[in-house]
Structure 1
Amino acid sequence: MTPLKVVPGLLRVAIVLVRYRLDELIDATHLFRPLKFVRPLLGRPPIDVRPLSRGARIRLALNELGPIFVKAGQVLSTRRDLVPGDIADELALLQDQVPPFPGDEARAIVERELKLPVDKLYASFDAAPLASASIAQVHAATLHDGRAVVVKVLRPRIAQRIARDISLLHSLGQLAQRWHPNADKIRPREVVSEVEKMLENELDLQREGANASLLRRNFISGVDLYVPEVHWELTTAKVLTLERVTGVSCDDIVAIDAAGIDRKELAAKGVRLFYEQVFRDNFFHADAHPGNIWVDPMRPTEPRFIALDFGIMGSLPEADQYWLAQNFIALFERDYARIAKLHVDAGWMPSNVRLDELEAAVRTVCEPYFTRPLSQISLAELVVKLFQTARKFELTLQPQLILLQKTLLNIEGVGRMLDPDIDIWAVAHPVLKRILHERYSLKRTLRDIRKRLPEWFHNAPQWPDLVRDAMRQVAAGEQKLMHDADHLMHQRRMVRRMLEVIGATLLGTTLIVCATLLWAFASQHGPWLPAGMGLAGLFSFAFGWMRR
């Protein structure tokens, strides 16, 4: 990918910035002053931007640049500790005040997708949108049975616009991969691919409906978080029909106070919900800006959130989820040596890193924070600084953690907006410890074993052949591996562990079968012998599962 292919995209960005007079924000550098002389040649924005504030000009420029830039502005709007207040106020308008497309065009899309006239599908359909965002806009409607719903309609030609922006990102990623000195650790192409996948998922409204259904099931009680119901018969890839809910935006402090809601309790509940979604359910709302998270004003004594817009949801591989949870616990407990060891054990850093040096670097970053009151510590800011420090030790960036980092920024921004004195550490620590205790308890382990028993029994006849093949491969490569003692020892440990798994599984199978036979055909021995044998078999399975 040559630099010339990047030029058109970069030129488009530069032209938009100059048209909206954003070059004036960096006049002090004297470098961009010549740009103002070419401004008359670049065309005018739809409105006169000269009297507008810098925040308004930035918002309008991001709107014109497209959905990817709008998403970036939405994230920044929640970070008032990083962005000046006047700019944050304007960027907050990006959440649901993107210019709409015509209502007649929305009706045509609905009829084309659902294959019936709108009057047959809905008792009423409001052509004026309730809200208009960067990917889709929402219209109020009523079903023929009287229930109020909202209809989300994908923007026309939005896929082409996103493809154009993604092409620019891919070009920049290729250049970074080629020229950046730490490209193998930053992995820019993988990061762009993750962003591309996220946006492609957001363009499929049927997928969004499935996300909403799963999140609703995870919080089916609706006590802490309410998720609207999906009407599947009126949903396709470009049209989504949801139950209509009412609430106030979580950043509308005046309305929340007027409803008599305890903002401190609400903020703490928001932090708990984040950790429950990530570490209990492994399925979290990854676009949690105030436009998508409402508060129910009708429940002042038991406040709850209302979730909207399920286009961007996140989940983590089981291994990353475990390592991340352990890193958070170690960070809460200031166990810097464990943080260093966890980064290596997780494979995020090479095994030859000196743990004592990494521990000292982590301690150097963290200790100044812990001299402040915990309510003044930004967990998101600390995590970012830890990643910056870890990169000096050849940290390999994990693209799958991008959504989680973005969500952490959003949640902390919302929490501090509701309660500037919130002690996020005190709220998150016990929640995370409880979730980990439940997730890795003996009861949970036995339940997982029971689920996997059919798979193990199905694969058991193949295990001896797999072990024989593995041992043959090690034996065939022994001459080649002798010069690498560490690699050879690793191979031997893997074979030994595989044999332990097979032995424990076969022993568990034998004990359970014997227990079943004794219970069925030798009842004169009483229940204790087969029960004891069955329990021993389950423990043998548990040992094999833990050694796998």
Structure 2
Amino acid sequence: MSLLAVRRLFRIQRVVIRYRLDDLLFALPLPWWLLAVRFVLPWRWIPRRKNELTRGARLRLALQDLGPIFIKFGQLLSTRRDLLPEDIADELMLLQDRVPPFESEKAIALIESQLGAKISQVFTRFDVAPLASASVAQVHAAQLKTGEEVVVKVVRPGLKPIIGSDLAWLFILAKIAERLSADARLLHPVDVVADYEKTIYDELDLLREAANSSQLRRNFEGSTMLYVPQVYWDWCRPKVLVMERIYGVQVTDLATLADQRTDMKKLAERGVELFFTQVFRDSFFHADMHPGNIFVSTVAPWDPQYIAIDCGIVGSLTPEDQDYLARNLFAFFKRDYRRVAQLHIDSGWVPAETKLNEFEAAIRTVCEPIFEKPLKDISFGQVLMRLFQTARRFNMEVQPQLVLLQKTLLNIEGLGRQLYPELDLWSTAQPFLERWMRERVSPKTLIGNLQSQVEQIPHLANMTRDLLERLSQPHAADPPPPYSNRGDHWALRLIGAGLLAGGVVLATAHTQSGDELMAFSAWPAVLMLVAGLYLVVRR
């Protein structure tokens, strides 16, 4: 372990003592033997000072002092007002865009070093005072020589060593947890930390953020739901990003939004629709959607449009993950707990030997009390916590590739309920998911998939020609042919039999199941039956 990591541990300890964060821990309902520890901690013998900061302020300042990893954790917590006391949530909101800035002289020196030119050579005007400051970077308003109003984002100096030492301790804690606790192993803490390591280092590369912003802008080109500012690539570098300056109302400024008569219901519903559009239509979603990165346009309050900035963290899902999530959501909100249990087993999230009936009963026990409330009152955060309580019994595993998605969903839900407490997340998402599932198995999509397969024919033809040339001119050093013609025919027939069997299973499920999603399996079933029949009867 490096000396810097050891020093960082002592730094964390000093911050905990300085802000008396142990008070927050000992305020929890802990076992008596843990509560007894407070009497042997030396710093608790020191009398408390008068006019001490509130607990929320102490937590905010501690996270702020500890650096970007801890600040980002506070940013996530600040969106969960349904899980936090109001005084703590109010303080943590200050971490979203009001982190103390670093010296402007350092920012200017870094910008000039990255651009290879003086500030006056690139910008007509450059505001020395930062416009906003966050955990990883700060931004300055400026005007290009060509007249465009822009913001210049510059990475904080000296972050990598701090992040490296923090991650070293996180890896140590994760490995210890995996070694000592079977429950912890189910959560894959080492994989989660490794995934977060990649994410936060990627965020330090502003060229990656510029590319993400450009992609998200293309995905919503001409959309009335979301606007993404333009990137000026000529002035972008690994530690400097120049992009269009936007003018809007911060999404948490509810008073201003109300004054301009913003349609809050539509705004909240559009936030949900944007999330599902990014996840399911594009498989490319903004994964750092805390309120400090989201603004609302002032152009048409009756038809509100979001403005998204800071695309340093984005996520994507495989088609398999998309399909799994959509089917789970449908089954979950229909209270089809057996289907939820079966989907978990089929996807490998729980061991294949799990007893379906027992797992179904456990899920029903967790979820049924929640559904006694109206859908608009159901908190996904609470559902996730209750579901994780079943993990210990059934060895349910947390999938590291979905951590960003879960974080984004928590952000979106917290934001939506803050804008419009009556938000019914399911009624907003259901039409989109139904349409997406139909489109996945529509003839148009299947033809598109077939077209992508046809595009591979030239490559396959070249491979076949090379194989035939080797077979027609055998050489002693060549390996024997992989199969005979007769074996090839039987292999094709076996494949055909498999397709026939799969087609029969899908067709049976289509005719017998009442699940709307199973109705979309008709086209694949027909294609499998036709292809299988052809391979079996062909000569």
Per the alignment, residue 15 of structure 1 pairs with: 14
| 2:442 corresponding residue in structure 1 | 441
Residues 139-187 of structure 1: CA distance to partner in whole angstroms, max 9, x if unpaired? 1010112110001000001111111111111111121222122344222
Residues 222 and 357 of structure 1: is their aligned pair in 2 closer, same or farther, counting only changes over 3 Å? Answer: same
After superposition, residues 8-407 of structure 1 pair within 5 angstroms as 9-26=8-25, 29=35, 31-35=37-41, 37=43, 50-407=51-408
The code of the aligned residue for 1:155 comes to: R
> In 1, distance between residues paired with 2:87 and 2:53?
12
- Alignment length (residue pairs): 483
Find the aligned partners of 1:192 and 1:463 in 2 and give their Cα distance.
45
Cα distance in 1 between the residues matched to 2:457 and 2:347: 26
User: Would the alpha carbon gap of residues 50 and 193 (structure 1) be closer, same or farther in structure 2, given more than 3 Å must change?
Assistant: farther
| CA distance in 2: counterparts of 1:424 and 1:332, whole angstroms | 11
Q: Which amino acid aligns with 2:58?
A: R
How many Å separate the matches in 1 of 2:450 and 2:425?
35
Query: Within 1, Cα distance between the matches of 2:102 and 2:63?
Result: 17
Determine if contact 1:126/1:140 at 8 Å carries over to the other structure.
Answer: yes
Aligned partner of residue 242 in structure 1, secondary structure: strand
Secondary structure at the aligned position of 2:292 is classed as coil
Using the TM superposition, give the Cα deviation of residue 437 of structure 1 relative to its aligned residue in structure 2, in angstroms: 1.6
Aligned pairs for 1:412-451 (under 5 A) are 412-451=413-452
Is the alpha carbon distance of 1:320 and 1:27 closer, same or farther for their aligned partners in structure 2, counting shifts above 3 Å?
A: closer
Residue by residue over 1:417-461, the C-alpha shift from the partner in whole angstroms, topping out at 9 and shown as x without a partner, is: 001111111111112111222233221121122123222442367
Structure 1: where are the runs of 5+ without partners?
Answer: 41-47, 476-491, 502-537
CA contact (8 A) 1:23 1:33 kept: no
**Equivalent-residue separation in structure 1 for 2:50 and 2:282 (angstroms):** 46
Separation in 1 of the partners of 2:177 and 2:212?
A: 33
Deviations 1:75-125 (A, max 9, x none): 110101111000000000001111111111111111111111111111111
C-alpha displacement at 1:222, in angstroms? 3.3
The code of the aligned residue for 1:397 comes to V
What is the DSSP-based 3-state SS (H/G/I as helix, E as strand, rest coil) of the residue aligned with 2:201?
Answer: helix
> Partners in 2 of 1:49 and 1:114 — Cα distance?
50
**Structure 1 letter corresponding to 2:23:** E
Q: Higher mean Cα deviation, 169-178 or 252-261? A: 169-178
Does the aligned pair in 2 maintain the 1:135–1:155 contact within 8 Å?
A: yes
Cα deviations by residue, 1:360-397 (Å, 9 ceiling, x for unpaired)? 11111111111111111112321332243245212222
Distance 1:336 1:416 in 2: 26
How much does 1:298 deviate?
Answer: 2.2
2:31 aligned residue:
none
Asked if the contact 2:4/2:165 (under 8 Å) is kept, the reply is no
The alignment partner of 1:124 has SS state of strand
Alpha carbons 1:362, 1:386 under 8 Å: kept: yes
Q: Where in structure 2 are there 5+ consecutive unaligned residues?
A: 28-34, 468-479, 500-525
Shift of 1:539: 6.0
- Percent identity reads 47
1:135 alignment partner AA: V
Q: Which amino acid aligns with 1:257?
A: A
Decide whether aligned partners of structure 1 residues 352 and 23 sit closer, same or farther in structure 2, where only a CA change above 3 A counts: closer
Question: In the superposition, relative to structure 1, how do residues 84 and 326 fare at CA in structure 2: closer, same or farther (>3 Å)?
Answer: same
1:471, 1:495 within 8 Å by CA — same for their partners in 2? no
- Asked whether the 8 Å contact 2:17–2:43 carries over to 1, the reply is no
What is the alpha-carbon distance in structure 1 between the residues aligned to residue 356 and residue 283 of structure 2? 30
Please state how far the C-alpha of 1:13 moved relative to its aligned partner: 2.2
Q: Assess if the C-alpha contact under 8 Å between 1:276 and 1:435 holds in 2.
A: no
SS of alignment partner, residue 243 of structure 2:
strand
Query: C-alpha distance in 1, partners of 2:182/2:230?
Result: 49
Distance in 2 between residues matched to 1:149 and 1:171, nearest whole Å: 42
CA–CA separation in structure 2 for the residues paired with 1:338 and 1:416: 29
Q: Does the 8 Å CA contact 1:111/1:118 hold for their aligned counterparts?
A: yes
Q: Secondary structure at the match of 2:295?
A: strand
Q: Which secondary structure does the structure 1 equivalent of 2:141 belong to?
A: strand
Using the TM superposition, give the Cα deviation of residue 190 of structure 1 relative to its aligned residue in structure 2, in angstroms: 0.7
Shift of 1:304: 0.9
Structure 2 CA distance for partners of 1:380 and 1:442, relative to 1, 3 Å: farther
Contact 1:6 1:172 in 2 (8 A): no
CA distance in 2, matches of 1:420, 1:389: 29
The alpha carbon displacement at 1:345 in A equals 1.3
CA RMSD of aligned residues (A): 3.2
Offset at 1:196? 0.4
Instruction: Go from structure 1 to structure 2 and tell me whether the alpha carbon gap of 1:390 and 1:151 turns closer, same or farther (over 3 Å shift).
Output: same
Name the SS for the 2:390 alignment partner: helix
**Partners in 1 of 2:177 and 2:492 — Cα distance?**
37
**Partner of residue 523, structure 1:** none
